[in-house]
Each structure stands twice: as structure tokens, then as C-alpha cells.
Amino acid sequence: EAGVTQFPSHSVIEKGQTVTLRCDPISGHDNLYWYRRVMGKEIKFLLHFVKESKQDESGMPNNRFLAERTGGTYSTLKVQPAELEDSGVYFCASSQETGGPEKLFFGSGTQLSVL
């Protein structure tokens, strides 16, 4: 069984450009989370999908970030326009049903560098 897959693994863009990150959860997992680790700081929660619905988007930093999960399968996280402070590692995680972190599977992350 494939794990949580994130694309790309690395992205280097210039300030002002647009970047789209993709997360493919484990098949059948309704819950999908995005987290972000800015260099030298904590990993922070961004948002939580249940199927295609946004359950909690309290961690989204501002309106330059747009997350979607059309059809309740894969999810995209678009940053437009990107700023220097958006650099960091973006993690995706999924679970079949909400049952605590023991049920969560994480992807290996997308390293985003904004120059």
C-alpha cells in the first residue's frame, strides 16, 4: 500500500511567483492535514479536510494560501504570490478516521524555497 505522497519534493521559486504543492493521501483516507515547518521554528498546523470539506482552516497564515481537495482525494496547496517568509517544509498527513495521532500517516514533505 502506497503511503502519503507529496509532489514536488523540492521547489525553488522567486518572490511573487505562484507555486502549487500536491498531496496524495493513502487511498480511502477521509482526513487530510497540511502542516508547515518554517526554518528554525515549530511545525504548525495549517488546515484539516474531511473528504472535500474544510473542517478547520484556523492555521492558514493569510489569503495568499489556497487549499483544495476536489473530489475528496488528493489535495493541493497553492501559494500566490509567494513571499520570502513562505519558505519551509510543507507536510501532509492523512488518516482513515479521526482517532488520534496514532492513526496519522505523514508524507515526507515539500521543501519550498522562495528567493
Partner 1 sequence: GDSVTQMEGPVTLSEEAFLTINCTYTATGYPSLFWYVQYPGEGLQLLLKATKADDKGSNKGFEATYRKETTSFHLEKGSVQVSDSAVYFCALTHQGGSEKLVFGKGTKLTVNP
Residues that bind partner 1 in the complex, under the rule CB under 8 A: 3-4, 31, 33, 35, 37, 40-45, 48, 56, 91, 93, 95, 98-109
* Residue 7 contacts residue 108 (beta carbons within 8 Å): no
Query: Cβ of residue 49: shortest distance to partner 1, in angstroms?
Result: 12
Closer to partner 1 by Cβ: residue 65 or 82: 65
Query: Cβ of residue 35: shortest distance to partner 1, in angstroms?
Result: 8
Query: Cβ of residue 92: shortest distance to partner 1, in angstroms?
Result: 9
* Residue 81 contacts residue 18 (beta carbons within 8 Å): yes
Q: Give yes or no for a cis peptide into 81 (omega within 30° of 0).
A: yes
Find the farthest-apart pair of alpha carbons in the chain and give their distance in angstroms, rounded: 39
Closer to partner 1 by Cβ: residue 65 or 91: 91
**H-type alpha helices, 26-99:** none
Which phi and psi (to 5°) does residue 102 adopt?
Answer: -60, -25
Closer to partner 1 by Cβ: residue 74 or 106: 106
Query: Cβ of residue 81: shortest distance to partner 1, in angstroms?
Result: 27
